[in-house]
Structures are given as structure tokens and as C-alpha cells.
Amino acid sequence: MAVEITQVLLNAQSVDASARKYAEESLNQFQDQNLPSFFLALSGELANNDKPVDSRKLAGLILKNTLDAKEQHRKNDLIQRWLSLDMFVKAQVKGCLLQTLSSPVSDARSTASQVIAKVAGIELPHKQWPELISTLLSNIQQQQSHVKQATLETLGYLCEEVSPDFVDQDQVNKILTAVVQGMNASEVNNDVRLSATRALYNALGFAQANFSNDMERDYLMRVVCEATLTPELKIRQAAFECLVAISSSYYDKLGSYMQDIFIITAKAVKEDEEPVALQAIEFWSSICDEEIDILDEYGSDFSADSDTPCFYFIRQALPALVPMLLDTLLKQEEDQDLDEGAWNIAMAGGTCLGLVARTVGDDIVPLVMPFIEENISKPDWRQREAATYAFGSILEGPSPEKLTPTINVALNFMLTALINDPNNHVKDTTAWTVGRIFEFMHGPTVEIPVRTILSVLLQCMKDVPNVAEKACGALYFLARGCEVVGSASPLSPLFADIIQALLSVTHREDAGESRLRTAAYETLNEVVRCATDETTPIVMQLVPVIMVELHRTLEAQKLTSDEREKQNELQGLLCGCLQVIIQKLGSAEPTKYTFLQYTDQMMDLFLRVFACRNATVHEEAMLAIGALAYAAGHNFLKYMQGFYPYLEMGLQNFEEYQVCAITVGVVGDLCRALDDKILPFCDGIMTHLLKDLSSNQLHRSVKPPIFSCFGDIALAIGENFEKYLIYAMPMLQSAAELSTLVAEADDEMIEYTNQLRNGILEAHSGILQGFKNSPKTQLLMPYASNILQFLDSLYNEKDMDDIVMKAAVGVLGDLADTLGANAGPLISQSVSSKDFLEECLASDEHLIKESAQWAKFAVSRAISG
């Protein structure tokens, strides 16, 4: 094999499919049969300067893929596999990799540097390969530029791959010194400077200590700022990227540099090439992100605890920053609205302006209004568009009081422009701005009659696709605003016309462009949601219409893969729409029964949607079925036989975990719909749920809902849950232990932990209540002390959120209620039944208090009697 590896690697890139397939198979075989030789052969190939560059590159790429994978569980396997490899083999592979950094072939060097970083990512956390960093640093001392460049690139990848925790400060200092030296103006080789600048981008995360030291920070900042002025475009761009990264990582250290940075960025925005100008604008967007976050936190109760104070950089820069951004708005590209991937300086500038408005609020309005007034009626479309875009961008942030006087004038003007302006780009932005007005200002602030607005929007929906799509968006937010108004919706008089207009949009030949069809269906959904008693009959008429559409997609035969993808997307939209309709009509008694006549046909359609996707079920159809089951109640039983296989399929879908999560939710719907009639299906369902919980492939976010689902099942089938107790209870127990052992967690982890706790508690509630009044209640006694301990430990941890608190005090009540006097002594020993209960009784949160009052009642019965 070793002899022919070059040929196999070349064949694997052949244009001939069969040769390619054969080569791939033999590579897989090689890997399976003799892993050490496989590693040695590939690293040898990569290091060998006599081999063709294509085989060397692929050898490196395969090595990289045998060390890392996207899926966490596979990644863990690969790490273990490498660690358990023979020491000698590993040493030889690493030797080859380091040797490749000196190769004259740049592709080979670059590939090797990535592989080295992957190996470092595995070994450094295990305190292996201690000499790596010093070896790399000594490489840099060499005079050969290409070696220097490759080594700096390697250091960059290494910093991306390895957590700062595994590199000691001494080595960090040395890495930074080497990188900064490479960036310095004294370095004549531009490739070296570029690699060094890009390496610094990744190394910034290691520089916490250095950024806290004034002298070192001054030096780092000076080098970065100097690099933004080099003649080489790519280096300038990379240097601005560093500035952007610094703005978010070291926001609080920027004070003394802001003035200089403003000058640098303003110059770049004004006269530099687009890639650089975009990064310069991004710097300010990123500062806005930081300040918005900080001010958000100020707004919440914990202002005193906020880690970072706000330095109000944006407010200080405002008088200069806003004109700079307004200038960019006039640099639009023709037809940028038709290009999905477009991103130019005008778009970036407008986006940044929007962020500035959110950061400073009212203060931006007087700075932008003159620009709007000056340009909004100009003959040049660029000026009209820029003025409109500026207005649309500042609608979020300032107070309604500040904007209201302008809004009514502006809206009138814009409704005219939507019909009369000759330029599509202006209309596109105008329709978007109208949508933004309704998004942030809906309700009483708008003086123009809804009827007038609607007639313009409906007309606009017949315009070119990108304009029509924005008009749909505007209608979406208009409808959403009407949702809160109450029973008499201003949409009602034109309700049928609106639905008709949206359906016509979905049928347009060009509805596939600019996301138009999707926008039309999403708007239709929102309109359905805000139907009132008066207009639900029209929604009822929509049911057969959408069903016919869905039916039509199922009749299409012999589709190309492209067509199949479109069909799949359309089915998603239609199922989504049906789901919204089901929820709407199924939730109100007067419409529910009329609507349920359609259940047979609807289930038939949903099952056919499932059937046309061999392996996976459709998320939207699944959600729709959940809503339908709940509305249909016991009558849903007759569909279970046909539906069950797809339910199983959804529960086993580890890859698309969203689908799995939704299916778990639907099991809950079924439990509530069918009650104990779900029993015959429970063995299968519980098996899958238990497997899901034990799997390390399944995304963790699905696990809390699975626990809640245990509760749903137990509540539905009551004491029949008995046979699952021996499986479910230990899992709940170990999850409970895990969820109380979270030390030093970040916000995300705390949130997840609380979700997990809530799931566990809901499971206990369901099981306890399910067994109530059963002669088998005693089966739960052995678990009572663990459950109480869990509650006690939650109370002692003091980091419950309100939802968990309500659930926990509820479980206390459930336990007392179901186990009664038998658990009395246990309950009276627990902290939960005293201090925790007292705390909940004193809560300001209505739901917590209510649960607590109930728990108090149950507890006092259990203890006294």
C-alpha cells in the first residue's frame, strides 16, 4: 500500500467516478485494517517533497479529518483513537508534520500547519507534545521567509484550536512576541506580515494578561493600528479584523485609543477599498453590540453586578460617526436587492446606523432628520433611497414620543412613494421601512386609516418580487400590531381581500424569487392568527383551499432533485399554514367542531407528506399533527396506527434534533388528547425516549423535554406507568444529581440546568399525580426521600429561576397529595416543606404563590393526618 498510496490519493481526485470510488474505498479499508501504517503513510506523503502537490494536499486533508469531526460524539472517538496510538507512531507523524513546514511547496506547508494545530488541540490538554511551541518559536528565528510564514500560520491555527487554559503565560508571551515581530513594519516580506497579522487575530484570546498591562497593550495596539496603514490590501484588511476582534474582547480597555481609531476607521470608510471599509464599519457595529448588551444589563435589575461599565463610546463619537455613516448610504449598488448574497458599504453603513440608533435612542433623531429631509424628494433615486433607508434604520431605539410626529407625515409620503416612485430600489426600501414602522410603532400612534394602508400594501404585493416581498413583510407587522388591539380588529373589513391577495401572491409565476412565496405564507399565517370571531368563518373557508394546495404537491411525479427540494419547501409552508389554522380554529369552541370535519382528509395528507420523504419526517407536519391531536381529543385514536411509525421515526432522528424535540412535544399532545388510550403505544414510545436519553449523539437540548414527556405519559396512563418506574426513576435520579452539581457555570449552562430541573420536576409531578388514588401508590414510597432531597438541594443552591421554583413547590404538593400520611414524617423533616414553602408563599410571582398555597394545603393534610 505504501508504494501505491500516491496513486490512490491521485485517483481519489480523478474525474472518473468509478476510479474515485475505488480509491476512496481502498483508503477506508487501509484505515480500518492498519491505522498506524495509515497515519505513517499519509504523513510521509505530506512531508515528501518529491511527491505531487495534489496527493500531498489530500494526504494532509485526510489526516485532518481523521483527527476531528463536527459531531461531538465522533470527535471524542477520534481523539481517543489518536491518544491510544503507539507513541513511536505518533512521534514519527508529528516529525513529518513539522518537517513539512520547511517545504518549498506552499500548499504542503499550509496543509501541514492545519494538521499540526489539530494534533496540538488533542495533545496539549493532555500535557503531551510539550516541546511543540518552543520548536515552532525556534523556527521563526530562521531567516527563510517561507518557513517563518508557515510557522506563524501554524501558531495562528494553534491559537484557534487550543483553549488558552492549556498554554502557560510564559509561552503566550513568547507567541505574542513572535507574532508582533512578524507584523512589524520592519518585516519586509508581505506574506510573513499577513500570516502574522492573521495569527494575531486568533492569538487575541490568549492575550488577557497582556491587555491588562498598559505598556504591553499600548504596544500591541500601536502595531495593529500601524498595520491598518500598510500598502498591502490584505494586511490592512486583516489588521482591521484584529481591531474588530479587540472591540468585542477588550471593550473596556479601549478608552485611550478611541480617538485614533475613529480617525483610522473614518479614513478607511471614506477612501479605502471595500473589503477594508467594510471592516472599518464593522468595528463600530461591534462597539454598538457591546454597548447595547451592557445597557440591556443596566436596564435589568442587576446593574450593580454588571461586569463591564459602559463607556458611552458611541454617544461620544455620535456627531462625527452619524455623518460618516450617512455618507455610506449613498454608495448603493444597482440591483443590490436582487442579489441574496450582496453586502456592500451602503448596506453595512445602514445596518451600523440602526445599531447606533438602538445604542443612543432619541439623540440620533436630530442628527439624521436633516439628511432625510434634504434627500427624500431628490430626482436622483440614490438620494431618495438613502433618505428612506436612513429613516427605516433609526426606527428601533428612539422612543415612540420622539418619532410619532414624524411617523405620520413620513407614512403618508411613503404610501404615495410605494405606488408612484419609478425606482424599484426606492420602493423596496420604502416597503421595508413601512414594515419597520408597524413593527415598532403599531397601534394608536398611526393616524392613517388602516383601510388606506391596506389598499396600498395589497396593490404593492403585485409589484416586482423583491418589492412584493417587503409589502408582505409590512402586512405581517401590521397584522401583528392588530393582534393586541382586541376583539374589533381593523383588518376585519378587508379580511377576505387580504387572504385572497396573499393567495394570489403564492401563485405568482415568479413567487420563487426574493423569498416571495415564503413571505406570503408567513404573512398569511399572521393574518390567520389575528382573526376575530367575526372573521374566523373566512379562515374556515381557507382550510380546504390549503388542503388542495398540499394535495397538489403530493401528486407531482418524477421530480428532479431540484424540484423535489422546492416541493419539500412548499409542503413545509403549507403544513406550517395548516398548523396555524388548526391552532386558531381548534382553540375556540364554536369553530372547533366544524373544523374537525376535515380531520380525516388532513391526517391523510400529513401522512402522505411523511411518506414522500423516505428517512425523515417533516417538522412542520409533525407540529401540525400535535395541534390537531389536541383539538381532536379521543377521536385521534383512529389515526394512531397510521401515524405511529412516523412518530417512531421522529423520536429516532438524532441528526435533526429539532425534529426529535418537536416529536417529543407531540407525544405530550397525544397523551393529553388520548389519555389512557395511548397505553398500547407506550412501550414503544418509552423505549425510544429512554434510548434518546442514554444517547450521547442526541443534542442535549432535547433531554429536558423528554423528562417532561415522562410526566405527560404518566399523567395519561396513571398507575400503568408502574412498569416504566424501574427505568425512568434512576434516570431522573441521576439527572437530578447532575443538575445540582453545576459549579461555576456560565449563563448558558445555568439556563440549561434550569431547563433540565424543570423537566425532571414535571416528570415527578406527572408520575405522582398519575398514581394518585391508585392502590399502587406505595410503589412510589421508595423514591420519596430522593425526591425530597432533590427539592432540598435545589433550595440550598439558591439559583432556581421562577419556573423551576413553581415546579419544585408543585412537586412538594404532589408528593404530599399522593403519598399522604405515609410520607408525612419524611416531608416534615425536609427543608422544602418549611423554609422553601414559606419563601414560595411569600413570592410576588402569582403562579409560584398559587402552587405554594396548594402545596401548603396538601402538606398540612399529609403531616397532620
Partner 1 sequence: MAPHELRRPFKRPAISDQQRRRDLALIRQTQQRSDSQNRARRLASSLFDLPSHSFPDACQADFPDNVDVGYAIALEQSPELEASSPTVRHLDFVQASKLKGSAARHWFARQLMLTEWMIDVPPNLDRDWYVFARPAGKRCFVVSSNGSTVSRLRNGSVLHHFPSSLPNGARTKEISAPSHVYCILDCIFHEPDQTYYVIDMVCWRGYSLYDCSAEFRFFWLNSKLSETGACNPPSTYHRYRFSVVPIYDCNRIGLHKAYTGGFAFVKDGLLFYNRHAHYQTGNTPLALVWKDELCSQYVLDTDSEGHVPAEQQVVLELQDDGKLTTSDDPPILFGCLEKEIIQKSSFQAGNFLRFSVIDECVRIVDGKLELGDLKFVGKANRARAFADSYSKVFFQYTARHSPLQFQDLIASLDPNLDENSESNDMEMID
Candidate list 123, 161, 669, 692; residue touching partner 1; CB under 8 A: 669
Q: What is the Cα gyration radius of the chain?
A: 32
Task: Examine residue 632 and tell whether it contacts partner 1 (CB under 8 A).
Answer: no
Q: How far is the CB of 289 from partner 1 (least distance, A)?
A: 10
| Residues 639-668 interacting with partner 1 (rule: CB under 8 A) | 658, 662, 665, 668
Residue selected from 11, 525, 720, 830 as contacting partner 1 according to rule CB under 8 A: 525
Listed ranges 210-218, 625-633, 644-652, 782-790: which one lies at the site for partner 1 (CB under 8 A) = 625-633
CA-nearest of 72, 61, 70 to 114 is: 61
Which of the stretches 45-53, 123-131, 310-318, 621-629 binds partner 1 when contact is defined by CB under 8 A?
621-629
Nearest distance in Å: CB 113, partner 1:
10
Stretch that binds partner 1, among 306-314, 316-324, 604-612, 763-771 (CB under 8 A): 763-771
Q: Should residue 241 be labelled a site residue for partner 1 when binding is judged by CB under 8 A?
A: yes
Give me the amino acid identity at 137.
L
Stretch that binds partner 1, among 24-32, 98-106, 143-151, 335-343 (CB under 8 A): 335-343
Instruction: Tell me which residue of 152, 231, 154 sits closest to 195, measured CA to CA.
Output: 152
List helix spans (H) across 633-741.
637-651, 657-674, 679-694, 703-717, 722-739
Binding status of residue 391 toward partner 1 by CB under 8 A:
no
CB of 623 to partner 1, least distance (A): 5
Report, in Å, the least distance between residue 444 CB and partner 1: 16
| Residue 151 contacts partner 1 per CB under 8 A | no
Is 792 an interacting residue with respect to partner 1 (CB under 8 A)?
no
CA distance 496 to 345: 42
Considering the rule CB under 8 A, would residue 549 count as an interface residue with partner 1? Answer: no
Q: Does 623 engage in binding with partner 1 (CB under 8 A)?
A: yes
Is 157:116 a contact under the CB 8 Å cutoff?
yes
**Is 184 a binder of partner 1 (CB under 8 A)?**
no
- Min dist. Cβ of residue 393 to partner 1 (A): 10
By C-beta, is 42 or 811 nearer to partner 1?
A: 811
What distance lies between CA 284 and its chain's CA centroid? Answer: 23
Among 95, 130, 255, 275, binds partner 1 (CB under 8 A): 275
Selected binder of partner 1 within 206, 257, 284, 630 (CB under 8 A): 630
In 34-166, alpha helices (H):
35-47, 53-65, 72-83, 87-100, 106-123, 132-141, 145-161
Q: What does the block give as the cell for 534? A: 367575526
Interface pick for partner 1 out of 38, 39, 82, 157 (rule CB under 8 A): 157
Q: Which of 223, 230, 155 is nearest to 190 (CA)?
A: 230
Q: Is 198 one of the binding residues for partner 1 (CB under 8 A)?
A: yes
Q: Tell me if 161 contacts partner 1 by CB under 8 A.
A: no
d(CA 135, CA 154): 12
Cα–Cα distance measured from residue 599 to residue 597, given in angstroms and rounded to the nearest whole number: 6
Considering only residues 627, 787, 804, 840, which one is a binding residue for partner 1 as defined by CB under 8 A?
627
Q: How far apart are CA 338 and CA 535, in angstroms?
A: 36
Q: Does 249 bind partner 1 (CB under 8 A)?
A: no
124 DSSP assignment: G
User: Which has the closest alpha carbon to 393: 419, 373, 365, 420?
Assistant: 365
Rounded-to-integer distance, Cα 816 and Cα 129, Å: 58
Q: Which listed range, 23-31, 316-324, 560-568, 855-863, lies at the site for partner 1 (CB under 8 A)?
A: 855-863
In the region spanning residues 407 to 436, those forming contacts with partner 1, defined by CB under 8 A, are 428-429, 432, 435
Per CB under 8 A, contacts with partner 1 among 708-737 are: 708, 711-712, 715
Give least dist CB 544 to partner 1, A: 21
- Residues near partner 1 (CB under 8 A), total: 86
Among 10, 503, 854, 863, binds partner 1 (CB under 8 A): 854
The closest alpha carbon to 366, from 311, 326, 310, belongs to: 326
According to the binding rule CB under 8 A, does residue 589 interact with partner 1?
yes
Smallest gap from residue 551 Cβ to partner 1 (A): 21
Cell readout for 685 is: 414510545
**Closest to 113 measured CA to CA, from 79, 138, 83, 148:** 148
What whole-number distance in Å separates Cα of residue 628 and Cα of residue 674?
12
- Cα pseudo-dihedral 637, 643, 647, 653, rounded to 10: -170
The contact pattern for partner 1, residues 31-70, with x = CB under 8 A and - = no contact, is ----------------------------------------
Question: Segment 794-833, which members bind partner 1 (CB under 8 A)?
Answer: 810, 813-814, 817-818, 820-821
11 vs 285 by CB, closer to partner 1: 285
CB-count burial class (<10 Å; 0-12, 13-18, 19+) for 135: middle
How far is it, in rounded angstroms, from Cα 640 to Cα 648?
12
- Asked whether position 111 contacts partner 1 by CB under 8 A, the answer is no
How would you write 505-556 as a 3-class SS string? HHCCCCCCHHHHHHHHHHHHHHHHHCCCCCCHHHHHHHHHHHHHHHHHHHHC
Is 398 among the residues that bind partner 1 (CB under 8 A)?
Answer: no
| Residue 409: all three cell numbers together | 407625515
Q: Provide the minimum distance between the beta carbon of 1 and partner 1 in the complex, in angstroms, as a whole number.
A: 34
* CA–centroid distance for 629 within its chain: 29
Chain centroid to CA 725: 35
At closest approach, how far in Å is the CB of 300 from partner 1?
Answer: 20
Does 777 sit near partner 1 (CB under 8 A)? Answer: yes
| Residues in region 557-576 near partner 1 by CB under 8 A | 572, 576
Q: Which of residues 457-476 bind partner 1 (CB under 8 A)?
A: 470, 473, 476
- Residue 680 CB neighbours (<10 A): 13
